Amino acid sequence: MDDPAGTLQPLRQRVCAARHIVVLTGAGMSAESGIPTFRDALTGMWANVDPMQLASEAGFRANPARVWAWYAERRHGVRAAQPNAGHRALGDFARRLPGRLTVVTQNVDDLHQRAGNTDAIRLHGDILQDRWLDSCPRTMRGSTCDTAFAEPGDPPICAECGNRVRPGVVWFGEALPLDALTAAEQAADACDLMLVVGTSGAVWPAAGLAARARHAGAHVAIVNPEPSDIDADAHQLVRGTAAGVLPPLFAA
């Protein structure tokens, strides 16, 4: 978006003047890099599979090989994708002005990190990381057990106790990581500008961060091509995509 009419200029002025900016990003931002949203990825052999069977602990326990294959396919797509202009704009801004920007993301890929926002707060985990499905007996005895040493398989398992490896994402019915949620809430409370980019606003508690920031006194702008469920929480709506809107907003 080249913004010939200057419609973004007031928001850009806010970006330049803000002491602390929070950018909350959702699936639409990663979709611009070719990573399908969760629902959009349910095609081909996955088209008739209940999403709850692919993204829940119960589904994993019922058919671990199927869920592992689903995430292996999604991981391949994440590794092949590249940060888009929106990711790069945020990364460049953070490098130029350290401490001014906090990225909070609902996305489980690593595109923000690869673009330069290495401290992005991940609310829904990291699809490229593994963790144990159950509490590791070795940890309970005071030692550690790294998933890297699990026996190969689909999924890998612990040779000692049979514990399975699972993707390091937040599944349906699971709580968000407490440290990530706390950090996101603190950032929302402290910012004077929040941009909500590429999210439908339908997934909680992430969707509540916009109202929280506004209540704390921040100016809230939503950047999305389509209406979202939390448009009423915003002072300003920008109908555009992350790759089109963020570069002119955060340009040097």
pLDDT tens string 177-193:
999 999 999 999 999 99
**86-132 pLDDT, tens digit each:** 999 999 999 999 999 999 999 999 999 999 999 999 999 999 999 99
Between the two ends of the chain, the Cα-to-Cα distance in Å is 16
Per-residue pLDDT, averaged over 130-141, amounts to 78
Residue 236 placed within a domain:
yes
The answer to whether residues 250 and 183 belong to one domain is yes
Residues of the domain holding 179:
1-35+82-124+175-252
- Please tell me the distance from the alpha carbon of residue 20 to that of residue 150, in angstroms, as a whole number: 42
**1-24 pLDDT, tens digit each:** 444 345 799 999 999 999 999 999
- pLDDT band at residue 36 under the 50/70/90 scheme: confident
Per-residue pLDDT, averaged over 35-58, amounts to 81
The answer to whether residues 119 and 185 belong to one domain is yes
- pLDDT band at residue 45 under the 50/70/90 scheme: low
Rounded to the nearest integer, the mean pLDDT of the chain is 92
Q: What is the 3-state secondary structure (H, E, C) of 138-185?
A: HHHCCCCCCHHHCECCCCCECCCCCCEEEEEECCCCCCCCHHHHHHHH
Residue 153 placed within a domain:
yes
The answer to whether residues 146 and 132 belong to one domain is yes
Residue 101 placed within a domain:
yes
Residue 42 placed within a domain:
no
The answer to whether residues 185 and 250 belong to one domain is yes
The answer to whether residues 17 and 73 belong to one domain is no
- Please tell me the distance from the alpha carbon of residue 200 to that of residue 106, in angstroms, as a whole number: 11
Per-residue pLDDT, averaged over 20-44, amounts to 88
Say which residues have a Cβ less than 8 Å from residue 9's Cβ, sequence separation at least 6.
3
Are the C-beta atoms of residues 225 and 66 closer than 8 Å to each other?
A: no
The answer to whether residues 223 and 248 belong to one domain is yes
The answer to whether residues 179 and 227 belong to one domain is yes
> Can you tell me which residue has the tokens 């595109």?
111
The SS3 assignment for 15 reads helix
Beta bridge partners of 167: 130
Q: Say yes or no to pLDDT of 140 above 90.
A: no
**Count of domains for the chain:** 2
Cis peptide before 98 (omega within 30 of 0): no
The answer to whether residues 98 and 28 belong to one domain is yes
The answer to whether residues 232 and 155 belong to one domain is no
pTM: 0.92
Residue 45 placed within a domain:
no
Catalytic residues: 124
User: Given the DSSP bridges, would you call strands 219-223 and 101-105 parallel, antiparallel or unpaired?
Assistant: unpaired
Q: Is 44 left (phi over 0), alpha (psi -120 to 50) or beta?
A: left
The answer to whether residues 232 and 244 belong to one domain is yes
- Please tell me the distance from the alpha carbon of residue 47 to that of residue 90, in angstroms, as a whole number: 34
The answer to whether residues 217 and 183 belong to one domain is yes
- pLDDT band at residue 38 under the 50/70/90 scheme: confident
Residue 50 placed within a domain:
no
Q: Say yes or no to pLDDT of 220 above 80.
A: yes
The answer to whether residues 140 and 229 belong to one domain is no
Neighbours of 204 (CB within 10 A): 11
Residue 47 placed within a domain:
no
Residue 40 placed within a domain:
no
Q: Which of 116, 135, 169 is the last residue of a domain?
A: 169
Continuous H helices in the chain: 9-17, 27-31, 51-54, 57-62, 64-80, 85-96, 111-115, 137-140, 178-190, 209-215, 242-250
